Amino acid sequence: MACIVWACQSQEGPAVRVLSDSDSSLSPEIRALSKRIADDPRNAELYYLRGNTFYYEEEFEQAQIDLEASLMLNPDQALVHFRLAETCLQRDSALSPQAEFHFAEALRLKPDYQEAKMEQARLWVARQDYDKALANLTVLKTLDDFRDRAYLLESLVYREQGDTARSENVLDALLRLNAQSYDATMQKALILLNRRDEMCLKWLDKAIALDELSDEALYHKGLWLQWQGKYADAMTLYENANKINPGHLYARYNRAVIENLFENYVQCEEHCNQLLDMSPDFALALALRGYSREKLGYKKAAQLDYQAALNIDPTLELAREGLNQVN
């Protein structure tokens, strides 16, 4: 975003920036705050308000500049440190050390800042600092406003550590406290699905009952039924998932797979075309389209698809076998 910037210097501290309130590329809210800052350029609260507005407009670079200006003028603002930490993470994962610093500052200034503690735990999980994250989550699990999120994140920690049994136990504990938790229900269903336990169907049905517009639950129920050879029922579920979320790539891919199984190669190719419009690097869709085109007699087109799939994923056996077949 183009911004007209000028700096203001005073004897009270270093320069801070002011944006022109006549810049038409800025939103009305930003322009209004910029006018107030021009009139009072040493007001830390105004920089926070403008940085916060930039944050919600997803202008994270601009938000970071203003939030840092606010802290330069008044470093003892827990809320500003928290928002700056979130902004750093939104901008670039490489800024996670800065985010970690600002979460810590927010909690130093306000030790009971539980939202900061929650987001700090998420950051530590992302950085695989699991012991630190679990220490935060132990506290947050006792608080009604954070309980569900804390249990779910704890379950994720154990799953990432390869302890699926413990992860499932955490989900079961949450479900005893809140049987209506869609997220816990869905995660329980996925654990059962991954180990091919037929009880996953019960949990998937419960997830759909809790959220009938869950494309995730519909897709995974379809996947289970596809594994059982119930292709018509699976296709219906995939179609419903795509009605809710046209961008659900694997629901559409599995529709193509089922069409291919029944030698409906034109329909399979159409699904693959739609997939590749959305995700040009979807190697499986390229290979499957190549197979459909091969069966339809378009060997040159099939060859190009197989080769494109291998360029993306050299280990894709379907594409390698197909390429050998048409060469």
306-321 pLDDT, tens digit per residue, is 999 999 999 999 999 9
Residue 23 pLDDT greater than 90, yes or no: no
**pLDDT tens string 39-49:** 999 999 999 99
Residue 246 pLDDT greater than 90, yes or no: yes
State the pLDDT confidence band at 24, using cuts at 50, 70 and 90: confident
pLDDT of residue 10: 41
State the pLDDT confidence band at 16, using cuts at 50, 70 and 90: low
pLDDT of residue 19: 77
100-103: long-range contacts (C-beta < 8 A, 24 or more apart)?
100/127
**pLDDT tens string 198-221:** 999 999 999 999 999 999 999 999
β partners of residue 7:
17
Tokens, residue 23: 């810049």
Q: What is the mean pLDDT of the chain?
A: 93
Which residues lie closer than 8 Å to 201 by C-beta, 6 or more apart?
A: 221, 224
Q: What are phi and psi of 262, to 5 degrees?
A: -100, 15
Which residues lie closer than 8 Å to 317 by C-beta, 6 or more apart?
A: none
Residue 5 pLDDT greater than 70, yes or no: no
Q: For residue 232, count other CB atoms closer than 10 A to its CB.
A: 8
Residue 148 pLDDT greater than 50, yes or no: yes
State the pLDDT confidence band at 106, using cuts at 50, 70 and 90: very high
Closest CA to 102 of 122, 87, 118: 87
Q: What is the DSSP letter of 43?
A: -
Is residue 44 within 8 A of residue 70, CB to CB? The reply is yes
**pLDDT tens string 112-147:** 999 999 999 999 999 999 999 999 999 999 999 999
pLDDT of residue 15: 55
pLDDT of residue 4: 36
Q: What are phi and psi of 25, to 5 degrees?
A: -75, -10
Is residue 273 within 8 A of residue 297, CB to CB? The reply is no
Q: Quick one: average pLDDT of 188-196?
A: 97
**pLDDT tens string 277-306:** 999 999 999 999 999 999 999 999 999 999
Quote the CA–CA distance of 272 and 275 in Å, as a whole number: 5
* Residue type present at position 276: L
Quote the CA–CA distance of 152 and 122 in Å, as a whole number: 11
Q: Quick one: average pLDDT of 164-179?
A: 98
- In the chain, % of residues over pLDDT 70: 94
**pLDDT tens string 268-279:** 999 999 999 999
